Chains A and B, each alone.
Chain A
Amino acid sequence: MTTTTQPSTGSLDRDAAGAVPAVSTHGLTKRFRGGQVAVNAIDLEVPYGSVYGFLGPNGSGKTTTIRMLLGLIAPTAGTHELFGLSMPSRAGQILPRVGALVEGPAFHLHLSGQANLTRLDAADRTADPRTAKKRIGEALDRVGLTVAAGKKVRNYSLGMKQRLGIAAALLQPRELLVLDEPTNGLDPQGTREVRSLVGSLADEGTTVLVSSHLLSEVEQICTHVGVMHAGNLIRQGTLEALREGQVARVRVHTGAPGEAAAVLSRLGLEQVNRQGTEVSAALDGRAPEEINAELVRSGVGVRGFIVDAPTLEDVFVALTGEGFDVSG
């Protein structure tokens, strides 16, 4: 291994509450042959019990990071621990507590979904063979694949494979689930199902590290967020902390945009912006109903009145000055 590991000091990193984080990395770096730095000295910290949205455009280093976390590829520099135990030296103790979906599901196509899960369970020395059948059945049931369990994976749709991948991660009770783009290839209904599944697992106390390039998708279920951009972890923290400094905007559709803009300015709102029949401004903590009332009092005909909460997309743009698109 080319890992540069520092000797473990034996002390555990603890967050303010005294809990050992589920994942913590220190200067974790991956430089590929040819010199391209895929992950650049990141200090990731996934608090125990959190749902951590690991966000970033395609190609920003999320999957490479996840592969390093799970010991599939060796970091060029830096160290990382899961549950306070050093990887990869303690992988045998760590990984049974982790369920993972890495870069899409992968199964033997000539075997049935159930046979694939049986095989993975057989490979797990910590799994009790006596309960295998029951656990496999429950995992399939949880992702709604009971009916298709006996079908060859060759005949599964991508969405079904994705769900089978999640079932594989759920064969044992896990403390940490690492889900890399779990909704790739799913239709909107499937996406909702995965989201609610992640939600219910989190409610049971499972820590979830979920990566996505779709901000809106993850925003709804996360407690914490880390944002990757071109191999760097540019921000991480609670969702609220990340949104701080980002202000909601109010948008008014009206036949009299000039007057509306004047009213908004008079109310002391900033960043008043006029575009066609729409006038927008930063809400800045003001109650939207007061603004609407003032508009009406001033005789501005309000056709539409919208408050846009700041989205992660806005946060991302503010952080990088770029849209959340593929980064090279």
Chain B
Amino acid sequence: MSAVDVAARSLPVARPVSTRFFRSELAMVFGRRRNQVALAVLGAVPILIAIAVKLSTPKPGDGGPQFITQITQNGVFVAFTTLTVVIPIFLPLAVSVVSGDAVAGEAGAGTLRYLLVVPVSRTRLLAVKYATTVVFALAATLLVSAVGVIIGLILFPRGAATLLSGNTVGMGEVLWRLFLSSLYVAAGMAALAAVGLFVSVLVEASVAAMAATAGLAIIIQVLDAVPQLHAIQPYLLNHRWLDFGDLLRTPMITTNVVHGLLIALAYAAIFFSLAWARFGGKDVSS
């Protein structure tokens, strides 16, 4: 074949925007048995809490998670209570599993080299992997909230609710604030996912990446709980995670929530960039 023929051959043209890979990744993540189990466990938490509260009404001063005493007045508080329960460990664990597996899982299976020669540019691969993990974090959070609302409204009173500030608002307003709270929680988890993605490009065994990310998530919980470390605590990723309760006041107190969002954004930007810098020039020899 002559050079002219080669040049005349119609060269493959890449569509500028294609969501096919992203959709295929979503199907992979949500189709994974392991991830489905994680979602099922998370979805079971509000049911357990609702049943427990139904069987034994908690009284103020009994302790227990934030909002648990409000449940008997309004079922939607099952969702808020559950968020409080799953934020420290359950949600971070689920996010650690998915984000730690993102690149390391492909490297371990050997499929990473085949994706790269398709070709998928390394930047696009990371972007798609990260976006998929963020969607998973959001879905997990919304699932917890949705199941909480449903079981709460089945077992407990519905209608107007009394906020933390003492005002009473309608059902629609409470659900709106629950939605905002869920988004806020998901934002924190999305930032953790960026940390997991970075760990995932560092190692080639996905189990190691998942464990390391989950370990980090637990370590920051410990650091945030030690009073002597208050100087560094405002910079910890999880420091403002539980402050979504500020959204349940009228007017909403946004100082801490905005601080939490800025921290999440900073962590996401820094760790995604680190992952990109590391992965961009990495020799893929798995």
Please tell me if B56 contacts chain A, counting CB pairs below 8 Å: no
- Alpha-carbon distance between A67 and B284 when the two chains are bound, in angstroms: 8
B14 contact set on A, CB distance < 8 A? 92, 96, 125-126
B110 to chain A: closest residue by CB: A106
Judged by DSSP, the binding face of B is: loop
Q: How far in angstroms is the closest Cβ of chain B from A226? A: 20
Q: Are B1 and A118 in contact (CB under 8 A)?
A: no
Known contacts A17-B2, A74-B283, A106-B109; is-contact A122 B117 (Cβ 8 Å): no
Q: Are B11 and A93 in contact (CB under 8 A)?
A: yes
Please tell me if A324 contacts chain B, counting CB pairs below 8 Å: no
- Alpha-carbon distance between A126 and B11 when the two chains are bound, in angstroms: 10
- Alpha-carbon distance between A286 and B110 when the two chains are bound, in angstroms: 53
Please tell me if A123 contacts chain B, counting CB pairs below 8 Å: yes
Known contacts A92-B119, A93-B11; is-contact A74 B281 (Cβ 8 Å): yes
- Alpha-carbon distance between A126 and B120 when the two chains are bound, in angstroms: 11
- Alpha-carbon distance between A280 and B128 when the two chains are bound, in angstroms: 65
Q: Are A73 and B283 in contact (CB under 8 A)?
A: yes
Q: Are B285 and A73 in contact (CB under 8 A)?
A: yes
Q: Which of B20-28, B40-48, B225-233 contacts A (4 or more CB under 8 A)?
A: B20-28
In the complex, which of the residues B11, B23, B121, B284 contacts A97, with contact meaning CB atoms closer than 8 Å?
B11
Known contacts A73-B285, A109-B109; is-contact A168 B3 (Cβ 8 Å): no
Q: Are B6 and A120 in contact (CB under 8 A)?
A: no
Judged by DSSP, the binding face of A is: loop
- Alpha-carbon distance between A2 and B283 when the two chains are bound, in angstroms: 10
Q: Are A2 and B117 in contact (CB under 8 A)?
A: no
Q: Are A107 and B111 in contact (CB under 8 A)?
A: yes
Which residues of A from 121 to 163 have beta carbons under 8 Å from B? 122-126, 129
Q: Are B109 and A107 in contact (CB under 8 A)?
A: yes
Known contacts A97-B12, A123-B118; is-contact A14 B3 (Cβ 8 Å): yes
Q: Are A122 and B20 in contact (CB under 8 A)?
A: yes
Please tell me if A185 contacts chain B, counting CB pairs below 8 Å: no
Q: How far in angstroms is the closest Cβ of chain A from B15? A: 5
B110 contact set on A, CB distance < 8 A? 103-104, 106
B3 contact set on A, CB distance < 8 A? 12, 14, 18-20
Q: Are A95 and B117 in contact (CB under 8 A)?
A: yes
A100 contact set on B, CB distance < 8 A? 114, 117
Please tell me if B18 contacts chain A, counting CB pairs below 8 Å: yes
In the complex, which of the residues A1, A20, A109 contacts B280, with contact meaning CB atoms closer than 8 Å?
A1
Which residues of B from 8 to 40 have beta carbons under 8 Å from A? 9, 11-15, 18, 20-21, 23-24, 28, 32-33
Known contacts A91-B119, A96-B12, A126-B14; is-contact A48 B109 (Cβ 8 Å): no
Q: How far in angstroms is the closest Cβ of chain A from B65? A: 36
> Among B6, B118, B285, which residue has the most Cβ atoms of chain A within 10 A?
B118
Q: Are A71 and B281 in contact (CB under 8 A)?
A: no
Which residues of B from 98 to 147 have beta carbons under 8 Å from A? 109-111, 113-121
Q: 20 A-B pairs, CB-CB below 8 angstroms?
A: A1-B281, A19-B1, A19-B3, A20-B3, A48-B6, A70-B116, A71-B116, A72-B116, A74-B281, A93-B12, A96-B12, A96-B119, A103-B113, A110-B32, A122-B23, A122-B24, A123-B115, A123-B120, A125-B14, A126-B14
B: which residues have CB within 8 A of A? Answer: 1-3, 6, 9, 11-15, 18, 20-21, 23-24, 28, 32-33, 109-111, 113-121, 280-281, 283-285
